[in-house]
Homo-oligomer: A and B are copies of this chain.
């Protein structure tokens, strides 16, 4: 019988996540019941939202309990199916958690066409992060051609798609990222008009220079001082999509946003965003993103760790901004 390996939660972190918060357990791979499908996971996606699950504080969904398998999306291959919609060999994405095998109801799986793009892309620019960027841009940032769109964590899984959508829609795309290497990548490889290195100091002056007409739409992944700085440059009737506040996730005390007044003065619209809110329109987002990949207008970069053992280390690095591109763990 095949052995499954799974990361479970050993303890809740206080402040930064550590490897001691997780425990790797082994068990036999499960067998599918009626309507279920056994998936062999090939790729595990690591995403900033996972920090929110490692807490008993109120967030969009319930936190994980001690002993539970860690939450996570995987891409994999069907091994055995007791659901009419799936057969062995089908490629799927699944809310499997951090493990090598999972048995899930067929309704929870999404079949993907891995002939059109690498399977791992369906966890990144063609998956949850890509759809997050697409719907946040389309419905909240709603930029008009010629407007300036700023995105933080610009080299990340969501940010990189946001800026490329801005370019595809005729806008000026300006990124914020940490370090020269990421900034160069964002401009040279992804085609943003500019990218400001927040680690280099003088963020306000540098961002102002990169946005000579101010900021019409801001896609926020980071929060904290970066948010306060961008708020000073937001234009009249501009929009902010609040997708993530990663700078706060590990803080034991919340950052106080000092420029809230800009929302009043410039009549800014600020809206929180979780991709689940657009569940009924996923097909629209998937098609738009796949078309852009096919047209060569949506590039992606992956940061791959090898082996399920690496998953906790990968999440910790992601939360510290050490990854460079979409963070994945190759499981097989």
Contacts and interface: CB of A to CB of B under 8 A. Distances in A.
Interface string A47-72: 00000000000111000000000000
A60 B277 CA distance: 33
Contacts of A267: 271-274, 277
Interface in A271-325: 271-274, 277
Contact of A271 (B60, B268, B277): B268
Contacts of A260: 223, 227, 242, 245, 254-255, 257, 260
Nearest to A269: B271
Task: Kindly name the residue among A264, A271, A274 whose own CB sees the greatest number of chain B CB atoms within 10 A.
Answer: A264
A264 B256 contact: no
Contact of A270 (B244, B255, B265, B270): B270
A31 interface: no
A261 B271 contact: no
Interface in A148-201: none
Number of copies: 2
Nearest to A256: B256
A263 interface: yes
B263 A242 contact: yes
A60 B254 contact: no
A265 B273 CA distance: 8
A266 interface: yes
Interface string A231-274: 00000000000111100100001111111110111111111111
Contacts of A58: 265
A198 to B, nearest CB: 18
Interface residues of A, number: 32
Contacts of A242: 260, 263-264
A242 B271 CA distance: 13
A227 B271 CA distance: 16
A242 B58 CA distance: 24
A245 B260 CA distance: 9
B254 A261 contact: yes
Contacts of A277: 267
Contacts of A248: 261
A257 to B, nearest CB: 4
Given A257-B260, A265-B272, A269-B272, 9 more contacts: A59-B265, A223-B261, A242-B263, A254-B259, A254-B260, A255-B256, A257-B257, A260-B260, A270-B271
Interface of A: 58-60, 223, 227, 242-245, 248, 253-261, 263-274, 277
19 contacts: A58-B265, A60-B265, A245-B261, A253-B258, A254-B259, A255-B258, A256-B257, A257-B258, A260-B260, A263-B271, A263-B272, A264-B272, A264-B273, A267-B273, A267-B274, A268-B272, A269-B269, A269-B270, A269-B271
